[in-house]
Amino acid sequence: MFLTRVKELLNRSDKRDEKMYIIAGLGNPGKEYAHTRHNVGYDTIDILADRYSISVETDKFESYIGKGMIEGKKVILVKPLTYMNASGKAIAKITDYYKTDIVNRLIIIYDDIYLDTGRLRIRKKGSAGGHNGMKDIISYLHSDEFMRIRIGVGEKPKGYDLKDYVLSHFSKEERDRMDQALIDAANAVVEILKEGPDKAMNEYNRSERGEIS
């Protein structure tokens, strides 16, 4: 009875950690989807995990998750395993369990075909913009007020099927730009944790001419 009570208290304490950030990169599980346009969220999580020595291997909440510290902040890195269009189920499970303040402690990273390849956009809230994974998350959370980092993967060429396009790999020219964009996205996460989203938006929401957009 005593041990059961201790476990309950420990679990309750863990779940009520209001200072913990949930950082989720969207994508599809499986080797066949690795490093495709739709998996840039996964790739960004991998960069953060490697940089801060966080193992994202625990299979929980229908996701791979890993707990750690980034620049003195408690974080859980998340790679949902529910496939892109059902991302909301996994995100809702983890944010509900930890009773996350989604406005201030949830960051979603995902691909955007309406941004040029390698461009970033950081927002504190907003619509799904036609992205099915984000639509599902907004539906499950009953809110669109949470931080997100959109990574441009380029507009679908005429005549291409959208599904085939987002599941395709980058060309060599695009890959060079994307490698830098993924590093920038990881850096943007760190900037949000250290200085807040407004500072990160000012730093990374820039056009090629250096203008804020």
Residue-by-residue pLDDT tens, the chain, 213 positions: 555 554 554 555 455 567 899 999 999 999 999 999 999 999 999 999 999 999 999 999 999 999 999 999 999 999 999 999 999 999 999 999 999 999 999 999 999 999 999 999 999 999 999 999 999 999 999 999 999 999 999 999 999 999 999 999 999 999 999 999 999 999 999 999 999 999 999 999 975 434 555
What's at 88, amino acid-wise?
Answer: G
Q: Is the dihedral of CA 34, 39, 42, 47 positive or negative?
A: positive
pLDDT for 19 equals: 84
Q: Which of 35, 38, 131, 142 is catalytic?
A: 38
pTM of the full structure:
0.90
Structural domains of the chain in order of their starting residue, each with its CATH number: 23-204 (3.40.50.1470)
| Cα gap 178→26, rounded to integer Å | 16
For this structure, is 131 an active site residue? no
Percent of the chain with pLDDT over 90: 87
DSSP letter at 95?
Answer: H
Alpha helices in 79-131 (DSSP H): 87-97, 102-105
pLDDT digits (tens, 9 = 90+) for 57-103: 999 999 999 999 999 999 999 999 999 999 999 999 999 999 999 99
